[in-house]
Structure 1
Amino acid sequence: MCTPCCLSQLECCCGSAACSLCCSCCPKIRQSTGTRFLYALYFLLVTVICVVMMSPTVEKEMRDNIPFYTELCEKLKAGENCKSLVGYSAVYKVCFGMACFFFIFSVLTFRVHTSKGCRAAVHNGFWFWKFLALLGCCAGGFFLPNQDTFLEVWRYIGAGGGFIYLLIQLLLLVEFAHRWNKNWTSGIKYNKVWYAALVLVTLVLFSVAVGAMVFMCLFYTHPEACTLNKVFLGINGSLCVLVSFLAISPCIQKLQPTSGLLQSGVISVYVMYLTFSALSSKPIETLEKDGANITVCVFPFNSGSENDNKIVTGVGTVILFGCVLYSCLTSTTRRSSAALRVYRIAMPENERARCCFCFGDDGDDYEEEERTGGGQYVVYDEQDGTIYSYSYFHFVFFLGSLYVMMTVTNWFHYDNAKIEKFLDGSWSVFWIKMVSCWVCLVLYFWTLVAPMVCPRRFEA
């Protein structure tokens, strides 16, 4: 059994065969799913490298623990103590290489509609050679001429691409909220337990949103300061209440019977999260009291210790990874692609309510032909044609590369950026997150009123 599995892995790395695990007890995996997860693994690997490059702690540990570190840096011509391999400029160059890699594949796979051509084979296989190509692209960024000009221009390209990626992320959130409600609503006529689940989850979501609002009003406002915080908390809270009442209004229910409080609960929780993140990212505000300057409107449980900072940074980095990977992997499904075109596809009549409704819809219409190479079963679900857009898939990862680059380097405050200060305050990050709140609410508002404004476009 070991020999066939090793041969299949070799074919996967150097040929066009699909990749699978050597453990036959693992559940079946679709070829399309395996391909997307392997690209996500490449993306995650480069993202981790970027995070390491922005950490002075890692740089110090390498300098103290790697033998002949200084001599090695001199041989690599990487500057004193490898200064050219760390910091924001190194992250820009590595992300430039990763962005080029995904952009080239986006162009290469443009208008690929069948999985049997050579371009589709390159997309789905040859993983070892693609890994070498990714390494070459990332290393090539360090040999670009006119480094200062490149960094200045690439910064603005990254900001534009990162903003577009944020819009895609918000669109996917709105689509997720509508799909969740539709899927669970479809099970009510068969089992009333789904109705109870809807009510329970809705109550939990609104409880979390209200609790977050109360928490921020208590700790991020002050009677004599933090006026901006008070204004934005009032605006965002009022907008959440407005869209919640609109979702259950008779005029909306007439055109969208599945519209309800579950969607507005999801949106309200996310808006409260973005609001909290924005207020936490705002520069520290001080107030003079009794002849001394005191810090006000800050996170109450931050003791300032090194361990606390490491925990907060770790949690923030994990959230970053999770959001980026979820958006990149789900933005290419048929449902999500329809959502990104502001078009609501009709819910299938055989829609089955389930807890894990996010998975398994793209390949359900395809006959499952099982193949094995001595390990995990692989379902070749694209023999009749591609089930997602290869070109668009790579383009989303291209935008995700730019978003990671800008986020890790603290957007426009890159000069003093360190991963240990990932959540430290800056006005640019504050306004990006606050504007994201409003964009999210506007997008959800549009999905509610769009059937009244453009009825033909939303006809089933």
Structure 2
Amino acid sequence: MCDPCCVSQLACCCGTAACSCCCNCCPKIKQSTSTRVMYALYFLLVTMVCAIMMSPTVEQELHDKVPFYSAMCKKLGDGETCKMLVGYSAVYKVCFGMACFFFLFFLLTLRLNNSQSCRATIHNGFWLPKFVLLVACCVGGFFIPEEGGFEMMFLKVWRYIGAVGGFIFLLIQLMLLVEFAHRWNTNWSSGVKYNRLWYAALALVTLLLFSVAVGAVAFMGLFYTHPEACLLNKVLLGINGSLCFIVSLLAISPCIQKLQPTSGLLQPGVISVYVMYLTFSAFSSKPKETYEVAGLNTTVCVFPFNSGNESDKKIVTVVGAVILFCCVLYSCLTSTTRRSSAALRVCRNSEPETERARCCFCFGDDTDDNDEEKSGGGQNVVYDEQEGTIYSYSYFHFVFFLGSLYVMMTVTNWFHYDNHEIEKLLEGSWSVFWIKMASCWVCLILYLCTLVAPMVCPKRFEA
């Protein structure tokens, strides 16, 4: 009974078949979705490797518990602890390989609209050869010659390329957040005329979002300000809180409601929560400030987790890393849907009259439900690209290329990479502080543009 399933998995790894699970109790999956998930798993794997490379704890555990670790490192000519395989330079080289991998597929899939072509077949299958290619690209970075200072020059140039790509990806991420907020409100509002429970759900979620945002302001006002110090924190918290309040009032103003009837408080609620999260993250990333209390220099405006308890610091770091990867993965996977791509081109994302309200709408239905469905003894696969591609393959790989650069810069603490460790991901750094604070303002400006733009250019935003 397992023969068809085994053949299916072999075809998935080495051939052109879409990936599926062996278990037939799993829900059916679309070919386009399975392809994106597989690339995301590759991305996750390399990201985990980068995090391990920046962790001296893992390095010490390998040295202490892995047999022949020291002998292997000596054989590689890298001392007893394989210093070449750890630190920011190793992360740069691995991410360089991953970026090259996705950029190669970006070039391979340029101007590809036919899902039955040879290039589309390579994109949707051959996962084992592609995994081998990814490993080869990542390993190849370690063979960059060191003679004549070439390696240091490469790292310096690649750092600035990574910074530019990371900023672009961050901008895309913020644009997708704004698009997500609008789409959530539009989708749930479409169900109000059929079932009043959707109106109750909208009101409940909106109230919850604003409660979280107000609670976050109070929380940061309590722990990240001081009566005699932390003036910058007070000013920035006041500015961000005021801007969130202003865009919330603007979203329900009559002039906006006239052009955008679906505009409500749900969108500014989502934006406000995210802005407060970025503000909290920025305050946590700010270098510690001291103030003289009773003749003693005391660290102020620091959350108790950062007061010295190492276990608490690790918990905060893990949570921050999980949030980081979730944001990166969501941006990579959703930036290539039809709706999101239209939003990124600054066009009105027209919703069909038959929009169906759903609790889970994040990835939506870009295709109909009557696509060809095949089963190989395991999970059912819906081949939803028989007539053509439903998302841009080249743009998909380009977003992952930018995501690789963003992960590289984030894991190495942007421009404060010397002696940086993954355990200190949330330690103070002025560059990270201002990057996150600027992200707050960019997010608010982007949302404000979506409200004001239809008034300035009504013809461009006609449905």
Q: Counterpart amino acid of 1:196?
A: A
Partner of 1:165: 169
RMSD (CA atoms): 1.0
Partner of 1:325: 329
How many Å separate the matches in 2 of 1:110 and 1:78? 41
How many Å separate the matches in 2 of 1:36 and 1:360? 14
Q: Counterpart amino acid of 2:8?
A: S
How many Å separate the matches in 2 of 1:180 and 1:359? 11
Q: CA deviation at 1:144?
A: 1.2
Within 5 A, what are the aligned runs for 1:324-363? 324-363=328-367
Q: Counterpart amino acid of 2:413?
A: N
Partner of 2:75: 75
Partner of 2:408: 405
How many Å separate the matches in 2 of 1:48 and 1:78? 22
Q: CA deviation at 1:309?
A: 2.0
Partner of 1:279: 283
Within 5 A, what are the aligned runs for 1:36-75? 36-75=36-75
Indicate yes or no: 2:249 matched with 1:245. Answer: yes
Partner of 1:90: 90
What SS class does the counterpart of residue 447 from structure 1 fall into? helix
What SS class does the counterpart of residue 18 from structure 1 fall into? coil
Partner of 1:195: 199
Q: What per-residue deviation string (whole Å, max 9, x for no partner) do you get for residues 381-423 of structure 1? A: 0010000000000000000000000000000000021000010
423, 427, 443: which one aligns with 2:426: 423
What SS class does the counterpart of residue 298 from structure 2 fall into? strand
How many Å separate the matches in 1 of 2:89 and 2:17? 38
Partner of 1:221: 225
Q: CA deviation at 1:217?
A: 1.0
Indicate yes or no: 2:396 matched with 1:393. Answer: yes
Change (3 A) 1:285 1:216: same
Instruction: State percent identity of aligned pairs.
Output: 77
How many Å separate the matches in 2 of 1:210 and 1:60? 43
Partner of 1:316: 320
Q: Does 291-300 or 384-393 show the bigger shift?
A: 291-300
What SS class does the counterpart of residue 82 from structure 2 fall into? helix
Partner of 2:129: 129
TM-score for the superposition, normalised by structure 2: 0.98
How many Å separate the matches in 2 of 1:381 and 1:12? 17
Indicate yes or no: 2:311 matched with 1:304. Answer: no
Partner of 1:34: 34
What SS class does the counterpart of residue 110 from structure 1 fall into? coil
Q: What per-residue deviation string (whole Å, max 9, x for no partner) do you get for residues 185-236 of structure 1? A: 1111111111111111111111110110011111111111101111101111
What SS class does the counterpart of residue 286 from structure 1 fall into? strand
What SS class does the counterpart of residue 81 from structure 1 fall into? coil
Within 5 A, what are the aligned runs for 1:136-175? 136-145=136-145, 146-175=150-179
How many Å separate the matches in 1 of 2:180 and 2:349? 13
Q: CA deviation at 1:78?
A: 3.1
Unmatched runs of 5 consecutive residues or more in structure 1: none
How many Å separate the matches in 1 of 2:231 and 2:28? 56
199, 206, 209: which one aligns with 1:205: 209
Unmatched runs of 5 consecutive residues or more in structure 2: none
Change (3 A) 1:420 1:278: same
How many Å separate the matches in 1 of 2:205 and 2:376? 43
Partner of 1:179: 183
Q: CA deviation at 1:18?
A: 1.1
How many Å separate the matches in 2 of 1:442 and 1:256? 18
Change (3 A) 1:283 1:344: same
How many Å separate the matches in 2 of 1:231 and 1:416? 32
Question: Paired residues, what number?
Answer: 459
Q: Does 195-204 or 382-391 show the bigger shift?
A: 195-204
What SS class does the counterpart of residue 290 from structure 2 fall into? strand
How many Å separate the matches in 2 of 1:289 and 1:24? 66
Q: What per-residue deviation string (whole Å, max 9, x for no partner) do you get for residues 132-173 of structure 1? A: 000000000001122111110000000000000000000000
Q: CA deviation at 1:17?
A: 1.2
Q: What per-residue deviation string (whole Å, max 9, x for no partner) do you get for residues 98-140 of structure 1? A: 0000000000000110111110000000000000000000000
Q: CA deviation at 1:360?
A: 3.5
Task: Kindly report structure 1 stretches of 4+ aligned residues shifted beyond 3 Å.
Answer: none
How many Å separate the matches in 2 of 1:356 and 1:88? 39
How many Å separate the matches in 2 of 1:345 and 1:423? 37
Q: What per-residue deviation string (whole Å, max 9, x for no partner) do you get for residues 273-300 of structure 1? A: 1001101110000001221100000013
Q: Counterpart amino acid of 2:180?
A: F
Indicate yes or no: 2:17 matched with 1:13. Answer: no
8 Å contact from structure 2 (residues 191, 356) kept in 1:
yes
How many Å separate the matches in 2 of 1:248 and 1:160? 36
8 Å contact from structure 2 (residues 92, 155) kept in 1:
yes
Q: CA deviation at 1:79?
A: 3.8
How many Å separate the matches in 2 of 1:152 and 1:80? 27
Q: Counterpart amino acid of 1:402?
A: L
Q: Counterpart amino acid of 1:293?
A: N
